[in-house]
A and B are shown apart, each in its own frame.
Chain A
Amino acid sequence: MNLKKKAPSQKSLEESYQRWKKQSYDSSFSENSSQTIPRTTISGKKIKELYTPLDVKNLTYEEDLGFPGFFPYTRGIHPTMYHSRLWTMRQFSGFGSAEDTNKRYKYLLSQGQTGLSVAFHLPTIMGIDSDHPHAEGEVGKCGVSIDSLADMEILFDGIPLDKITTSMTINAPAAVLWAMYIAVAEKQGVSPRQISGTIQNDILKEYIAQKTFIFPPNPSMKLIVDTFEYGSQEVPRWNTISISGYHIREAGSTAVQELAFTLRDGIEYVQWALDRGLDIDQFAPRLSYFFNAHNDFFEEIGKYRAARKIWAEVMKNRFHAKNPKSWLLRFHTQTSGVSLAAQQPHNNVVRVALQALAAVLGGTQSLHTNSLDETYALPSENAVTIALRTQQIIAHESGVTNTIDPLGGSYFVEKLTSEMEQEAKNYIDKIDNMGGMVKAIEMGFPQKEIADSAYYYQKAVDNKEKIIVGVNDYTMDHEQISLLNIDEQVAKHQIKRLKDLRNSRNFTQVKELLGALKKAAADELNLMPFILDCVKVYATLGEIMDTLKDVYGEYQEPILF
Chain B
Amino acid sequence: MADRKIRILVAKPGLDGHDRGAKIISRTLRDAGFEVIYTGLRRTPEEIVSAAIQEDVNLIGLSILSGAHNVLFPKIMSLLEKKGVTDVKVIAGGIIPEKDISRLKKIGISEIFLPGTSSQTIVDWVKKNIH
Contacts and interface: CB of A to CB of B under 8 A. Distances in A.
B85 to A, nearest CB: 21
A153 interface: no
Nearest to A451: B23
Given A122-B15, A212-B17, A557-B41, A458 B24 contact: yes
A252 B25 CA distance: 14
Interface stretch (B53-61, B103-111, B112-120): B112-120
B116 A468 contact: yes
Contacts of A135: 15
B72 interface: yes
A377 B71 contact: no
A486 B67 contact: yes
Given A210-B17, A212-B17, A342-B116, A455 B68 contact: no
A138 interface: yes
B99 A483 contact: yes
A125 B38 CA distance: 23
B67 A211 contact: no
A483 B1 CA distance: 52
B22 interface: yes
Contact of B71 (A137, A212, A250, A561): A137
Given A462-B120, A472-B118, A483-B97, A134 B15 contact: yes
A451 B17 CA distance: 14
Contacts of B71: 136-138, 488
B66 A122 contact: yes
Interface residues of A, number: 45
B41 A454 contact: no
Contacts of A455: 23-24, 27-28
Interface string A356-389: 0000000000000000000111100000000000
Contacts of B36: 561
Interface string B22-41: 11101110000000101111
B20 A557 contact: no
Given A136-B71, A342-B114, A561 B14 contact: no
Contacts of A123: 15
Nearest to A137: B71
A50 interface: no
B50 interface: no
Contacts of B98: 376, 480
A459 B98 CA distance: 26
A557 B40 contact: yes
Nearest to B36: A561
A437 interface: no
Contact of A137 (B18, B70, B115, B119): B70
B6 interface: no
Contacts of A126: 15, 42
Nearest to A122: B15
B38 A341 contact: no
B66 A252 contact: no
A341 B26 contact: no
Most buried by A among B39, B41, B67, B98: B67
A462 B72 CA distance: 30
A134 B72 CA distance: 10
A188 B49 CA distance: 49
B44 interface: yes
B119 A458 contact: yes
A561 B15 contact: no
B95 interface: yes
B68 A138 contact: yes
Contacts of A376: 95, 97-98
B75 to A, nearest CB: 8
Contacts of A375: 95, 114-115
Identify the 5 closest CB pairs spanning chains A and B, nearest first.
Answer: A137-B71, A211-B17, A137-B68, A141-B67, A122-B15
Interface of A: 122-123, 125-126, 133-138, 141-142, 210-212, 250-252, 338, 341-343, 375-378, 451, 454-455, 458-459, 461-462, 468, 470-472, 480, 483, 486, 488, 557, 559-561
20 contacts: A122-B16, A122-B66, A123-B15, A134-B15, A137-B69, A138-B15, A138-B71, A142-B67, A211-B18, A211-B19, A376-B97, A378-B67, A451-B23, A462-B118, A472-B116, A480-B99, A557-B40, A559-B38, A559-B40, A561-B26
Given A378-B67, A472-B116, A561-B26, 10 more contacts: A122-B66, A134-B14, A137-B71, A142-B66, A341-B115, A377-B67, A472-B118, A486-B67, A559-B38, A560-B23
Interface of B: 10, 14-20, 22-24, 26-28, 36, 38-42, 44, 66-72, 95, 97-99, 114-116, 118-120
